[in-house]
């Protein structure tokens, strides 16, 4: 099988490096200084599990990569509208596309059934640009449970975790999921296949839609937020609103809010990805993680009062952060 990591950032480059180290035919598509550094020195991984250097094929264009068997979408959700229309050179008749994005994915309501079948969220898939470029039949969902960052161009710092769940949107246990999982497991990752990928997505959203924006507003770690009585109350209110949306869609979550809060506290003095992006001057995943939940709440008739308040404050924070500072 030929694998492509389309958008070899922190997550994608780590997956690609692990697969290349295990001997798989994998190509990483990247841009800018990160591309040049990987072409010159390979992908350097710094990890508590052991440092290593991998030398997958590095491509600066999708045309030179050519058709693939499996494409991992390694960009963050707000990068997909730009990436998706460029993917056609990598998509053969039977190419599988693995989405790794946080939040509500663009394919979520394809094959969902009932009143919500085919619904498109504008904050996730503006103008339908992603769904027009990637056919729903190609999609395998995934949820990433490890933390990585680019410490310098071509250098990936693996902080913790090694699990990535896979699941067909229709809940089936397909041969293609099994083959992809086997490759990831052989590369040193844990890769369970779930028949309830949509439920698992909501469990992660429960934390992402609450902890991430509040951390950006407060600059606090997970443990600091959960242990602060006032802030933890805000986070619980958001979680309750998120849980209410999931129930409207028929999703009964397998974990409680208390369990989710306890899990966050257990991680400790860790900064969320949104806070890391804010501090690094990068765009935050606000729309996919929070804005989409607010939009979906509107669609199902829920006010989302607390979530909307935090979303609006964080959106203004992002706008202010993007403005050039006066000298």
Known catalytic residue: 204?
yes
CA nearest to 55, candidates 91, 97, 25: 25
The full length of the chain comes to: 327
Question: How far, CA to CA in Å, does 63 sit from each of 20, 69, 86, 138?
Answer: 21, 15, 9, 20
Q: How many beta carbons lie within 10 A of that of residue 172, not counting itself?
A: 11
Backbone angles phi, psi at 31, to 5 degrees: -140, 165
Dihedral in degrees, nearest 10, Cα atoms 162, 168, 173, 176:
-80
Tokens at 97, concatenated: 């596309």
Contacts 24+ apart (CB under 8 A), 176-179: 176/96, 176/140, 177/140, 179/1
Please count the helices (runs of H) and the strands (runs of E) in the chain.
Answer: 14, 9
What are the respective helix, strand and coil percentages of the chain, to the nearest 5?
Answer: 50, 20, 30
Choose the catalytic residue: 204, 271, 315, 327. Answer: 204
Active-site residue set: 204
């Amino acid at each position: 099988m030929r694998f492509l990591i389309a958008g070899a950032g922190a997550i994608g480059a780590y997956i690609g490096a692990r697969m290349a180290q295990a001997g798989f035919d994998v190509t990483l598509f990247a841009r800018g200084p990160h591309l040049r550094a990987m072409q010159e020195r390979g992908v350097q991984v710094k990890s508590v599990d052991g440092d290593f250097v991998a030398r997958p094929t590095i491509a600066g264009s999708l045309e030179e990569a050519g058709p693939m068997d499996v494409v991992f979408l390694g960009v963050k959700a707000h990068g997909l509208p730009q990436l998706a229309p460029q993917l056609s050179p990598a998509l053969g008749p039977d190419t599988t596309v693995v989405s790794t994005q946080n939040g509500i994915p663009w394919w979520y309501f394809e094959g969902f059934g009932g009143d919500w079948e085919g619904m498109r969220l504008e904050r996730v898939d503006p103008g339908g640009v992603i769904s027009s470029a990637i056919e729903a039949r190609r999609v395998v969902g995934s949820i990433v449970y490890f933390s990585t960052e680019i410490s310098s161009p071509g250098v990936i710092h693996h902080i913790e975790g090694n699990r990535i769940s896979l699941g067909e949107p229709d809940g089936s246990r397909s041969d293609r999921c099994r083959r992809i999982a086997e490759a990831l497991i052989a590369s040193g990752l844990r890769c369970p296949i779930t028949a309830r990928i949509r439920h698992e997505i909501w469990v992660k959203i429960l934390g992402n839609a609450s902890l991430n924006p509040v951390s950006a507003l407060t600059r606090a770690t997970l443990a600091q937020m959960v242990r602060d009585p006032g802030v933890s109350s805000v986070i619980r209110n958001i979680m309750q609103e998120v849980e209410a949306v999931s129930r409207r869609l028929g999703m009964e979550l397998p974990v409680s809010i208390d369990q989710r809060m306890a899990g966050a506290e257990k991680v400790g003095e860790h900064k969320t990805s949104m806070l890391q992006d804010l501090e690094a001057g990068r765009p935050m995943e606000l729309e996919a993680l929070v804005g989409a939940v607010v939009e979906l709440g509107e669609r199902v008739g829920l006010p989302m009062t607390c979530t909307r308040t935090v979303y609006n404050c964080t959106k203004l924070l992002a706008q202010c952060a993007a403005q050039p500072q006066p000298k």
